[in-house]
Amino acid sequence: MGTTPNPNQPLRLGILLSGRGSNFLAIARNIREGKLPNVEIAVVISNVADAPGLSAAKDLGLPTALYVSKARPRADHDADLISCLRDYNVDLVCLAGYMRLLSPGFIAAFPNRILNIHPSLLPAFPGLDAQQQAFDYGVKVAGCTVHFVDEHLDHGAIILQRAIPVLESDDAHSLSERILVEEHIAYTEAVSRVAGGEYEIQGRRYIKRATA
């Protein structure tokens, strides 16, 4: 089932990140520029103290939280995240370079309410260094995927993908940079689709509901 958007209440995003935060910043910019009407960032949470994305969120004046995950049991760390996200009345959790697997308890706490972006055309090249994996494999088309998060790595129902050709002149670095440009478009588009609520998830398939 899709979300049931309330036109009077903005959809509140909880962003989880561990690093640079360029996908978060693209979403924040698109909200500021009016490209995601009725969506707001409720809180930006990092599990890494010196994540540049966390300081960028502070610079933007957004609410932030830090829960260092290193050496903590996954379930304990995730329980802190769940209560923080609930405190901020988060409707939709967006993983934006969040480099830690979520516990089953976390996924159950936000059923079909967690999105992730992955820099490959899934199901090809899940896991780390997806762009390098794709380059080394010699694919001719690469891209990114925004999907719902389930209990398996880089696996849930796909909302959208954006593809680009791999150029003769590419190396893994230039390919990653060109995929990142697509990521910044794709994540906002996926949030917009989910915020619109006109969809169903049938098995693995994300299906846009026909509008009358």
Which residues does the annotation mark as catalytic?
118
Q: Which is nearer to ligand GRF, 14 or 97 (CB)?
A: 97
Q: Which two tokens stand for residue 55?
A: 């300081």
- Of 27, 56, 65, 117, which one interacts with ligand GRF (CB under 6 A)? 117
Site for ligand GRF contains 57 (CB under 6 A): no
Integer CA distances (angstroms), 38 to 7, 30, 148, 163, 200, in order: 7, 12, 20, 28, 20
Minimum distance from CB of 83 to ligand GRF (Å)? Answer: 24
Minimum distance from CB of 165 to ligand GRF (Å)? Answer: 18
Number of residues engaging ligand GRF in binding (CB under 6 A): 13
Site for ligand GRF contains 183 (CB under 6 A): yes
Minimum distance from CB of 68 to ligand GRF (Å)? Answer: 17
Site for ligand GRF contains 159 (CB under 6 A): no
Q: What are phi and psi of 14, to 5 degrees?
A: -110, 115
| Residue ranges in the chain assigned as alpha helix (H) | 22-32, 52-59, 74-87, 104-109, 130-137, 172-196
Q: Distance between CA 78 and CA 109 in Å, rounded?
A: 10
Minimum distance from CB of 125 to ligand GRF (Å)? Answer: 11
Site for ligand GRF contains 21 (CB under 6 A): yes
DSSP 42-72: EEEEESSTT-HHHHHHHHTT--EEE---TTS
- Contacting residues toward ligand GRF, per CB under 6 A: 17, 19-23, 53, 96-97, 117-119, 183
